[in-house]
Every structure is written in C-alpha cells, then in structure tokens.
Amino acid sequence: MFFALLAAVLVIDLSWLQVFGQGRLQENTANTRRIMREYAIDRGRVITSDGLVVAESVKTEGPLEYKRSYPGGRLFSHLLGYDSHQFGRSGLEAYYNRYLLGYEPARGWAEEMTSDLERGNDLVITVDSEVQAAAAQALGRRKGAVVAMDPKTGAVLAMCSWPDFDPNALVSRERDAEGGSLAEQAMRSYSQDADSPLLNRAAMGLFVPGSSFKVVTACAAIESGLPAQTAYDCPGVLPVDGSRVTNYGDPPASFGAQDMAGAMARSVNTYFAQLALGIGAGRLVEYAERFGLNGAVPLDYPAVTPSFIPRAGDMDEVELAWSGAGQGKLLLTPLQLCLVGCAVANQGRIMLPHLMKEVRRSDEILERFEVREWRKPVSPQTAAEVLEMMVGVVRSGTGTEAAMEGVTVAGKTGTAEVEGKPPHTWFLGIAPAENPTVVVAVLLENSGGSGGSMAAPVAREVLAAALK
C-alpha cells in the first residue's frame, strides 16, 4: 500500500507538471530545449507601414538555426529592441514574441497536430520609416526623444530616442581573437554607459515638463469654469505663501494684465500659477489624471513608465502654483505629452495608442488593430479653445520657430528648470490646425536654451515629414 501510494503521488505530480506547469517550465531560462525550439523557427519579419523590413531572421550555421537581423540598424533600436539567446528580448520583439514565433493567433487543431511550426507571423507596425528618419535626423546627437502620432487613430508614426544602440551588435554570435563574445562586450559597454543608451526616453524617461504642461492647466481651468477671457495681472515675481513664482528672464519679465491666450503665447508662469491657485489642487490633479498621468498608458510596448503629478493632498500652495506653470514635482514622458496634444487635436478625445497595425501570414491578414477611444479628458469646445491658443503660440509667441509655410501649426514650448543642470527643452506641435493629422512631442534633455529655440525646430522637421 505504501509503494502504491508513492506511485500515485508520482503520477499526479508528473501530470500536474505536464498540464499545469508546462508554461512555467517552457519560460524557465535554464530550459535550453525551449531556446533550441524557438531558434529553429524562422521568426516573422517586422515591417513599417510604408513597407520597409526592419527586422528579419537569417539562417546560420550551428545549433541555433536562425539569428535576428536588423536592416534598419540604430534607427529603430529602441522601438524594436532585440531578440537575443543571451540577453532575452526587449521592445516589440518581447511584446509580440508569440506572434512573431507563430504561436498566436492560435493555429487550427488539425494544423497544430500534424505540422511543426517552421515560420512565424509578420508584424506590420504603424511607424512610417520616413517620419522616423526625419525625427532621428532632427534630433541628431542630442540626448532626448521624439514621439509623433496620428490623433484620429492613435497610431504611433515615429518613436525616436537618443543615445541609441546597435541591435545587430547585441544579437551577434561572433567572437574576438581571444574567444570572447562580441555581443557580451557590446552589452557591457551599453550597460555601463552613463548616458543610458538602452533607455527608451520616449516611453520610459521621466522629465519635468516645464511650460508644455500649461496646455493641461488651461484645459483644467476652462473645464472648471474659468473661461479663456480670465485675466490676471502678471508681475515678474508672484509671492505665494512665503515663497515666489517667477517668469523667465533676468530680471524676471513682467507682462501686466493678460488673458489665457496672451499668457499661453508668451508662456507667462505667474499667470498659470494664479490659474492653478484659482481652480485648486483637486481639479488640477483630476484633469491631469484624465489625460493619463498617474496611470498606465496602454501602449503595446513592454516598458512604458507612468507620468506623475503629486496627489492633491500632498500639494501646498507653492507646489500647486509651480505645478500650474509646469514645474514642481511634475514628471512626464514624451509619450504622455504627445497624448495630451492628441486630446487637443482630436476634439477632446484620446484614441488608444498603438504600434501594431496588423499581423500577417504571407498575404493573409490574421489580426488587425481596431481603432477605439481610450479617454475623453475634455469637451470638444475646450479642446478647440486651447488649440486656437496654441496657434497663437506659433504665430506670434514663443514657438515661432515651428512655423511652416502654407500650414497652420499649433504648439506649446517648454523650458524646464533642473537644479544644477541646464534646462530640458520641450515642444508640443499639432498640424494642420484646421484638421489635425499629426501631433509631435519633442524633448531635449538638459539642452540649455529655450523650448522655442531648441525643440521647436526639431518638431517642425518631423511635422513636415509626416504631412509630406
């Protein structure tokens, strides 16, 4: 009876492992059989919306039959990530791994029973290679990020971050003269680099937004009953609860009486500080969260950092005033700022952001992204009013460097003070303002200068490429 009981326990345990534990066993990093099986599959290609193949598998010699190749090189590095038997996967290679291997969408039972997987599915992404190239060229060798989106669909047209990295170096199986792995050397170099080239600043980097956040403050104020005609006297220095809020300049510039449109065009800190104090911390935080702050952004990408605004109960008057002007403890990703712009450009609605356009097997479309609304933070009327204010920023305010001949551009500059370092510069651009089809957010990390002089020209080049 004792040995019969042991046999029963053994059968139950093995059955449990086979049926319920198979997923955990398959994903175990020590399971070399899983790795051998996956690298025996001709992994699907990644193709841009304009037909450029940016990731594909190539046949190799050795126990691992296929190796990943990235024809686009560094241009799509943060977006695609890498697929390495040594370091695992990142970026879209990780998020859509099962699709690229052919495990999803699930095959029919007859096909599953009678044939092994030999080739994965192709992933077509929303990114346009020319817009991506324009973003990379305009960014140049400056730390920062660019995100471009179609506000009507939520499609990401470009996502660029610098410093970048060479994904081909991380999937290399070559060795140096001493037998050392070149891929390990590349990974060590990237990991130890103080500039963090493996970090996708567009979706993962958090930065003080500066005056670009005034778009959110304006929306919150109008929705809270303070119309665009609300006027305040705007001195260079505004005393607030024993501290002060200042405008830019040395000494800080004074602007006299300003309404919301004038203060937006001139980026007047003391106006938006008073606006935030007028609506209160609860309303400012509520509307910031309506735009997506303090929550997960549902982008089909494995590493998206939530943007941050302090809770209303944690704000004193000084923090509230500076938050209204885009300073304080606020932290935004360039992706989040782009989504704010999408709401203004799309009648108060933010469509679900996405990178996947469709999944194909040869010429057959297996799955296609369905465009749908994610959030509606403000009314169409509020969005239209703020959009018109942003047109004034580019027409005659701090964002004139983003102006384009024959196209009405709306925008908002941002110059974010960072203690002990040069400021971050931002620009949020929308075009054409009459019927927006592209929104661009630009961040230049510790660039110095102003958002109008540094970031606006970058946005102009990306807007031009997207409209073309």
- pLDDT tens-digit series, residues 20-68: 877 777 767 677 787 888 888 999 999 999 999 999 999 998 889 999 9
DSSP 3-state of 361:
strand
Question: What mean pLDDT value characterizes the chain?
Answer: 95
Q: Residue 241 corresponds to which tokens in the numbers above?
A: 């609860």
Write the Ramachandran bin of 280: left for phi over 0, alpha for psi from -120 to 50, otherwise beta. Answer: left
Asked if pLDDT for residue 107 goes beyond 80, the answer is no
Confidence of residue 111 (pLDDT cuts 50, 70, 90): low
The amino acid sitting at 320 is L
Q: Identify the pLDDT of residue 105.
A: 87
Residue 461: pLDDT over 80? yes
Residues in the chain: 468
Look up the pTM and report it: 0.92
pLDDT in tens, 284-316: 999 999 999 999 999 999 999 999 999 999 999
CATH number of 210-355+376-467: 3.40.710.10
- Residue 124's nearest CA partner among 167, 92, 150 is 92
Residue 243 has pLDDT above 90, yes or no: yes
Kindly report the number of other CB atoms within 10 A of residue 188's CB atom. Answer: 11
pLDDT of residue 106: 80
Closest-CA residue to 158 (of 305, 300, 307, 335): 335
Give strand ranges (E) for 16-152.
46-47, 53-59, 66-69, 83-84, 88-89, 122-125, 144-149
What integer is the mean pLDDT of 364-369? 95
Query: d(Cα 432, Cα 455) in Å, to the nearest integer?
Result: 19
Rounded to whole angstroms, the Cα distance separating 279 from 283 reads: 6
Give residue 117's pLDDT: 74
pLDDT level of residue 420 (50, 70, 90 thresholds): very high
The residue type at 444? L
The structure tokens 């198979």 sit at: 22
**Given this model, what pLDDT does residue 116 score?**
64
Q: How confident is the model at residue 110 (pLDDT cuts 50, 70, 90)?
A: low
CB 102 within 8 A of CB 117: yes
Q: How confident is the model at residue 422 (pLDDT cuts 50, 70, 90)?
A: very high
The stretch 342-357 carries a mean pLDDT of 98
Write the pLDDT tens digit of every residue in 245-291.
999 988 999 999 999 999 999 999 999 999 999 999 999 999 999 99
User: Dihedrals φ, ψ of 66, to 5°?
Assistant: -120, 155
For residues 93 and 197, give the distance between their C-alpha atoms in angstroms, rounded to a whole number: 18
The tokens describing 38, both together, are: 């996956």
Give SS3 for 160: strand
Q: Is residue 211 helix, strand or coil?
A: helix
Per-domain residue ranges for the chain?
Answer: 210-355+376-467
